[in-house]
Amino acid sequence: MKARYRYRCYPTPSQKLALAKLFGCVRVVWNDSLAFCISEYKGGKKKPKNGELQKQFITQAKKLEEREWLSEVSAVPLQQSLNDLEQAYKNFFDFCKGTRKGQRVKPPRFKKRKSKQSARFTKLGFSFKGEKVYLAKIGNLKVVWSRKLPSEPSSVTIIKDSADRYFLSFVVEIQPEHLPQSENSVGIDLGITTFATLSNGQKIKAPKPLKQRIQKLKKFSKKLSRKTKGSKRYGKARKRLAKLHAKISDTRNDFLHKLSTQIIRENQTIVLEDLNVSGMVKNRKLSRAISDLGWRTLRTFLEAKSEKYGRDFRVIDRWEPTSKTCSCCGFKIGKLDLSIRDWICLNCGTSHDRDVNAAINILACTEPGRSVAGGLSETLNGRGEKVRLSKESASQRSVNPPEFQQLSIFDLLK
């Protein structure tokens, strides 16, 4: 399987100037090709092939007076930029045809000068010079090797983020590492007050980096809005705000990486509830708090690390009533308000913590013959054989269990 290894690098002032030229050339080739594809589409023609775009906007464009500076940088990142454009269009067309599943894929967009910049080199454009990495027409870059590369990289991407930090991202081939088998299984219930509640009763709180720095963020944003756009003070204020955003993102990712690694190492089976995060973010009262937690990022980390370390990762349906179903007897209560954090089962009298009960039910959904909505979906007869209940008896049993039928309304109110 393929993986990315990212390292911080520190180019010299002259190398920063050369990288700025490289990023500009990559951006211009992308935007020119995208504009041409859009104009061809509006004219009723098909999208040009990748080879035609490379010939027109790289090879022939270098001969033009207004694009002759394209020859000052390596041709490898320019070609990879158009390869990325071809892949972006392919993903968009596959989604429109219905052959690509998942989230909605939008058509390619124009690249901006102030956003994150990147350029990719294949094996022809980079090499290792001792502890440094040589990029074609850039030079030897100083790299902080926080860990060793597991194999020879097939490509490297030089990245400059909005906070003016430079990174090298290597694509390498790795072998899955199977951890020792564990008898533990865990169900995870995600929340806002408590980030994650595990089925073993453990509760994990999130650092909430945005909430901790929201006042500082407002202050920097206000100062940026008062500066004249394009001035030096505007650039300093923009960089100060970008560094704060980077700090918030790094804090959140560090927490999610450590938590996901701990869960993967301690458990063989990990069960998570499928949440509609994109829909929940539309709630204007909870959008900031949900975005600050990073639920979807945790799921992505768990999926990737489960595949890498040989763990079993499962996701249950989002419509399972995990919070309002008793994990002991399977009795389902009515509507449960979010303000209610503890409740007592009317059937068996067990006291439940809302989050812990939901985590136990999430784990139980993956057990054979177990359903959250009705407890055990099958019963055993006197000889130990499985017997399926009829629709009438099953519905009556789930609504009015035998133990609950003997109680009157006055007993329930006591």
User: Which positions are annotated as active-site residues?
Assistant: 189, 273, 355
DSSP 349-364: --EEEHHHHHHHHHHH
Q: What is the pLDDT of residue 411?
A: 41
Amino acid (1-letter code) at residue 38: I
Euclidean distance between CA atoms 311 and 302, whole angstroms: 9
How far is the CA of 36 from the CAs of 135, 267, 323, in angstroms?
A: 30, 52, 53
Place of tokens 């906070």: 163
Question: Which residues, given as ranges, of the chain have pLDDT below 50?
Answer: 369, 371-414
Contact predicate 11/166, CB 8 Å: yes
Q: What is the pLDDT of residue 367?
A: 63
- Contacts by 335-340, CB closer than 8 A, 24 or more apart: none
Contact predicate 78/70, CB 8 Å: yes
Name the 3-class secondary structure at 169: strand
Euclidean distance between CA atoms 88 and 106, whole angstroms: 9
Q: Under 8 Å CB-to-CB from 390, ≥6 apart: which residues?
A: none
Q: Residue 169: what are its φ and ψ, rounded to 5°? A: -115, 115
Euclidean distance between CA atoms 128 and 15, whole angstroms: 17
DSSP 31-44: HHHHHHHHHHHHTT
For the chain, give the number of residues.
414
Q: Residue 226: what are its φ and ψ, rounded to 5°? A: -90, -5
| Digit-coded pLDDT (tens) for 360-388 | 988 888 765 454 443 333 333 334 444 44
Q: What is the pLDDT of residue 104?
A: 87
Nearest residue to 263 (alpha-carbon basis) of 213, 190, 336: 190
Nearest residue to 247 (alpha-carbon basis) of 278, 204, 206, 216: 216
Name the 3-class secondary structure at 147: coil
Q: What is the pLDDT of residue 387?
A: 41
Contact predicate 187/361, CB 8 Å: yes
